[in-house]
Structure 1
Amino acid sequence: MNRPQYILLPVSPLFIAFSLFCAFLLNLLPWGRFVGVPDFVALTLVFWGVHQPRKVGIGTAFLLGLLMDVHDATLLGENALAYTLLSYLAIMIHRRVLWFRVSTQALHVLPLLLLAQTVQLTVRFIVSGKFPSWYYFIESFVAVMLWPVVSALLLAPQRRAVDKDHTRPI
């Protein structure tokens, strides 16, 4: 119950851009034949939408969605629609989610990721008439299992002390 509270440093906009760029590069890797590889851009967008809603918003999500549409050679706007909806919902619940521990935050993120995948699946089904399989949704569960790791990595630069003082409890 008495876990330590950290006062986080302000996040650098360059670090946010770097993390989104790295997530985009991870999505560019040829993972296509593997089942369960998460959408790293969606996961990073949810993280920054929850933690920094004023710096990463719907416009960023739309732009990254268009870039992913071009890369995946899918219907233009499919990922953009899903990422925009995902970002909006993450911004909408950001105050509530931050009160919970990281493991509980992951449970709040799961419906958002499942909804984004459902939107993508619906658009693909309307256009092509093909339903991939139920294994398609494993990506969201893998992304939720990665949420504590992503949280630790992306919050690490904000947790460092500017000046170390060992007598200060926070």
Structure 2
Amino acid sequence: MIMPRAAGQLLLPANPWFIGFTLVAALMIDMVPAGRLAAMPDVLAVVLVFWGVHQPRRVGVLWAFVFGLLIDVHDGALLGQHALAYSGLSFGAITLHRRLTWFPLGAQAVQVLPLFLAAHALALIVRLLVGGMWPGWTVLLAPLLEAALWPVASVLLLAPQRRAPDRDAHRPL
């Protein structure tokens, strides 16, 4: 099998503790009471999509649903609003996971943008159906910022897997 251009280096297996730590850290970042703006990017959504693409057997739709319920409870939103959006987001990421890693990071960001747009649209539709207020047109900035965070998240979250499996002073990698 020919190696993808984007995967120029073989990666070590992802540590399940690191995956759990990054998901909980993203949850904590989303729970910071910074006056939740409509344009604020959802860091947990970016991390869920990342692990859904790179580790689809470990982080799937069930984990996305659970984290969505936690965000719903924290935000005081309609129970299931974020859970539904995160579940759809995770399903889309798992669907794209084989194809997405063949592209460079910029092209990956363009391809995950529709996932983020669809997740925000789904959450917004549910919110409006139950009588919520329109958050304004700045809500369109959040998916763009999340897609812009994709290359940063990819570099940071893949960094522990890029180290040499057997460190040696005579063999720099």
Shorter-chain TM-score above 0.5 = yes
Structure 1 residues 167 and 96, CA gap change in structure 2 (3 angstroms): farther
Higher mean Cα deviation, 31-40 or 19-28? 31-40
Alignment-derived partner of residue 54 in structure 1: 57
1:65-144 aligned within 5 A: 65-144=68-147
Structure 1 residues 131 and 105, CA gap change in structure 2 (3 angstroms): same
Contact 1:31-1:37 at 8 Å conserved across structures: no
Unmatched tracts of structure 2, length 5 or more: none
Contact 1:66-1:76 at 8 Å conserved across structures: yes
Structure 1 residues 127 and 25, CA gap change in structure 2 (3 angstroms): same
- Provide the C-alpha distance between the structure 2 equivalents of 1:121 and 1:19, rounded to a whole number of angstroms: 26
Unmatched tracts of structure 1, length 5 or more: none
Alignment-derived partner of residue 6 in structure 1: 9
Contact 1:82-1:116 at 8 Å conserved across structures: yes
Show CA shifts across 1:123-165 (max 9, x none). Answer: 1101115222111121111111111111011000000002235
Q: Runs (4+) of structure 1 moved beyond 4 Å?
A: 165-170
Structure 1 residues 45 and 122, CA gap change in structure 2 (3 angstroms): same
| Deviation of the 1:36 alpha carbon | 2.6
Q: Figure out how many residues of one structure are paired with residues of the other and give that number.
A: 170
Contact 2:106-2:151 at 8 Å conserved across structures: yes
Give the TM-score normalised by the residue count of structure 1.
0.93
Alignment RMSD (CA, Å):
2.1
| Deviation of the 1:9 alpha carbon | 0.1
Query: Once the two structures are aligned, what percentage of the paired residues are identical?
Result: 50
